[in-house]
């Protein structure tokens, strides 16, 4: 496309995104991978871990999410909180009642708390029922770890380690089973901090190591709760470099993720 168009910049626990309002789908259409890469470029573009296109489909909003490398992703936990925050800030939806937001992983139920001034409340997302899919392995260089395969709409490999520094700088994607993960996998390295309290680092497929990952935090909580034998309705605190999230698994196995979401800038671009 040519010409300038509006954008917003937001983040959830410092996992940051470029938002492209495109309510009738006429401005951006099918986002080209090279344009997503240009927008996410931290030197020559706006800079982000991914792009959220905001589209209205019939009676619902659709979150068209792309990773920083331009690849399409099924779901983004931090991204959907920022997406919902944008809808509320613009008066397109209201706080205090569930929003139904469509994603490639189905419709998600999202609630934005009003907060002190109506703009700083936390956002809770019903992420559905994750699936524990057995043992796997991941590796960085010569180091290898057992991991747990967890599907949260997108694939995760959760490895419990002795120290978060063990994986090194994570400049490249950790090695993984290509037959189990033909399209790549998000890899979480996790340490325990206390009862129902863990900390993690993540390498996201298509984006690299990020400050936070919402679906990753949910996968980590499920893996930790399963290992702990924890029952339903127990809050886990999941610390990430960008800040903590609160994750709860319900009696029915659904996972609720709660955390902040902030819009920090808006403007126009011709990238």
Catalytic residues: 76, 213
Residue 109 assigned ligand-binding role: no
Q: Is 141 exposed, middle or buried (0-12, 13-18, 19+ CB in 10 A)?
A: exposed
Q: Does 44 appear as a known binding residue? A: no
Phi, psi values for residue 146, rounded to 5°: -70, 150
Q: Choose among 246, 10, 256: nearest CA to 119.
A: 10
d(CA 170, CA 146): 17
Nearest in space to 236 (alpha carbons), one of 191, 200, 196:
196
Distance CA 190, CA 161 (A): 6
Closest CA to 259 of 9, 94, 13, 11: 13
Is 47 annotated to bind a ligand? Reply is no
In whole angstroms, give the CA distance from residue 249 to residue 235. 8
Residues 6+ apart with CB under 8 A from 117: none
Does 172 carry a binding-site annotation?
no
Locate 62 and state its tokens: 């659709």
Instruction: Locate 224 and state its tokens.
Output: 């930790």
* Phi, psi for 169 (deg, rounded to 5): -75, -10
Annotated binding residues for substrate, as ranges?
Answer: 15, 67, 77-78, 154, 186, 204-205, 214-215
Annotated binding site: 15, 67, 77-78, 154, 186, 204-205, 214-215
């Amino acid at each position: 496309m040519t010409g300038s168009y509006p954008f917003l910049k937001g983040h959830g626990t410092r996992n940051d995104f470029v938002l492209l309002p495109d309510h009738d789908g006429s401005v951006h259409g099918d986002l080209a991978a090279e344009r997503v890469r240009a927008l996410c470029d931290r030197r020559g573009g706006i800079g982000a871990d991914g792009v959220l296109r905001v589209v209205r489909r019939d009676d619902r909003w659709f979150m068209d999410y792309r990773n920083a490398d331009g690849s399409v992703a099924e779901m983004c936990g931090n991204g959907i909180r920022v997406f919902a925050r944008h809808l509320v800030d613009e008066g397109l939806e209201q706080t205090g009642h569930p929003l139904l937001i469509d994603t490639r992983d189905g419709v998600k139920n999202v609630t934005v708390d009003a907060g002190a001034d109506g703009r700083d409340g936390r956002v809770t997302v019903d992420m559905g029922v994750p699936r524990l899919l057995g043992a796997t392995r991941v590796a960085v260089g010569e180091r290898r770890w057992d991991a747990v395969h967890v599907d949260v709409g997108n694939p995760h490999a959760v490895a419990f380690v002795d120290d978060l520094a063990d994986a090194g700088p994570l400049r490249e994607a950790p090695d993984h089973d290509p037959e189990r993960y033909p399209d790549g996998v998000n890899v979480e390295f996790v340490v325990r901090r206390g009862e129902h309290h863990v900390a993690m680092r993540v390498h996201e497929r298509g984006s690299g190591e990020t400050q936070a990952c919402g679906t990753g935090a949910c996968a980590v909580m499920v893996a930790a709760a399963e290992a702990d034998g924890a029952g339903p309705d127990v809050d886990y605190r999941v610390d990430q470099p960008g800040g903590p999230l609160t994750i709860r698994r319900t009696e029915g196995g659904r996972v609720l993720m709660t955390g902040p979401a902030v819009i920090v800038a808006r403007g126009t671009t011709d990238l």
